[in-house]
Amino acid sequence: MNNKKEEAIDKYADTLYKLAFLRLKNKEDAEDVVQEVFYKYIKTDMQFDSAEHEKAWLIQVTLNQCRSLWRTGWHKKVDIFDEQEAGAVFGMEQAYLMREKERKLFTEVLKLPGKYREVIHLFYYDNYSVKEIAMLTGRKENTVTSQLTRGRALLKKALKEAYDYEEI
């Protein structure tokens, strides 16, 4: 393995792990996906035009690996979510999420259906534009915009219900 690939692995490991964790809601599966992505990355002979192209390829392969894992029989029947594990994964780097309102928002994002959780994460947490998300996920820009809108509506509804319930 060349030095450039080692640097890329060090640089993107955390981002890819977080993306896989958000998608799969499970530490072990996220680790497996990232390991498989880097295995494919090391084995590929593909020449990348730029660092952004390389990052986009890694994110796309991560999303594809998550989808592949999600299609297995086990994941169709089981939806595992460990809130403490989520806090451990994101707590150190993003300490503000531990404040109550932001923690609730983050928890609700993790509860969203995968297609909404994915675009919400890429848009708000990784700061990608709609155009970039469309490119990374292989979706049309209008689809990404619709999914962001629907994801926001689901979050608004869930958070409103949570706060209405607490006020009683």
CATH number at residue 49: 1.10.1740
CATH number at residue 105: 1.10.10.10
For residue 92, tell me if it sits in a domain: no
Please give the model's pTM, rounded to 2 decimal places: 0.56
Q: How many structural domains does the chain have?
A: 2
For residue 90, tell me if it sits in a domain: no
Residue 3 tokens read as: 């030095």
Q: Could you give the CA distance from residue 84 to residue 86 in angstroms, rounded to a whole number?
A: 5
Domain that residue 9 falls in: 1-80
In sequence order, the 6+-apart residues with CB closer than 8 A to the CB of 69 are: 24, 29, 32, 33, 75
8 A C-beta contact, residue 20 and residue 29? yes
If asked whether residues 54 and 118 sit together in one domain, one would say no
Q: Judge residue 127's burial from the number of C-beta atoms within 10 Å of its C-beta, 0-12 exposed, 13-18 middle, 19 or more buried.
A: exposed
The chain-wide mean pLDDT, for the chain, equals: 79
Mean pLDDT of 104-124: 84
Up-side HSE of residue 142: CA atoms within 13 Å toward CB? 0
For residue 66, tell me if it sits in a domain: yes
For residue 120, tell me if it sits in a domain: yes
pLDDT, tens digit, for every residue of 40-79?
999 988 888 888 888 889 988 998 888 887 666 545 444 4
8 A C-beta contact, residue 9 and residue 62? no
If asked whether residues 37 and 112 sit together in one domain, one would say no
If asked whether residues 125 and 154 sit together in one domain, one would say yes
If asked whether residues 72 and 130 sit together in one domain, one would say no
If asked whether residues 4 and 52 sit together in one domain, one would say yes
Q: Could you give the CA distance from residue 22 to residue 86 in angstroms, rounded to a whole number?
A: 9
Residue 60 tokens read as: 């796309």
Judged against a pLDDT cut of 60, whether residue 92 lies above it is answered with no
If asked whether residues 66 and 140 sit together in one domain, one would say no
Closest Cα partner for 23 from 75, 73, 91? 75
Domain final residue pick, 80, 110, 125: 80
For residue 146, tell me if it sits in a domain: yes
For residue 89, tell me if it sits in a domain: no
If asked whether residues 34 and 64 sit together in one domain, one would say yes
Phi, psi (5° rounding) for residue 58?
Answer: -60, -40
pLDDT of residue 98: 47
